[in-house]
Amino acid sequence: MQKQFVDYLLKIGEEKETIHENIGEDIIQLPNEIIFDKNDTIVLFISKIFYNLNKNYTNDQNYVDYIKDRIILTSTNEDVDNINEQIINIFPEKAKEFLLKIKMKFI
């Protein structure tokens, strides 16, 4: 599914996805399988994205790949904050913080 999603995003970026001008300018229709079902709770939705969380997150060999290979796209920062807070609350352990070290050279 990940490759299909990446290919779909590329198709949008390359303007090869069908545009529905009758709805509005630059409007595309997302496939149903990647849209949040209004009948699901946000917790159920998160569990679909982060399936087998207990098993995968506690496995030191693959938890970084497990987390980085998942994405939830939203249209507002408020939604992002709400979803992130709920995800953090369902993690089986204390949250882990990752630091990024960047070397910069100014010319």
Say whether both 41 and 67 belong to one domain.
yes
Alpha helix ranges (H) inside 30-105: 42-49, 53-57, 63-68, 77-90
Residue 101 lies in a domain: no
- 0.85 exceeded by the pTM? no
The residue with greater pLDDT, 36 or 14, is 14
**Domain with 85 in it:** 36-92
DSSP string, 81-101: HHHHHHHHHH-SSPPP-----
Place of tokens 């496995």: 59
Residue 97 lies in a domain: no
CA dist 14 to 1, 7, 21, 23, Å? Answer: 20, 10, 17, 20
pLDDT, one tens digit per residue, over 31-83 is 887 777 777 788 888 888 888 877 777 777 777 777 777 777 787 889 888 88
Task: Band the pLDDT of 27: cuts 50, 70, 90.
Answer: confident
Say whether both 51 and 72 belong to one domain.
yes
Whole-number mean pLDDT of the chain? 78
Residue 104 lies in a domain: no
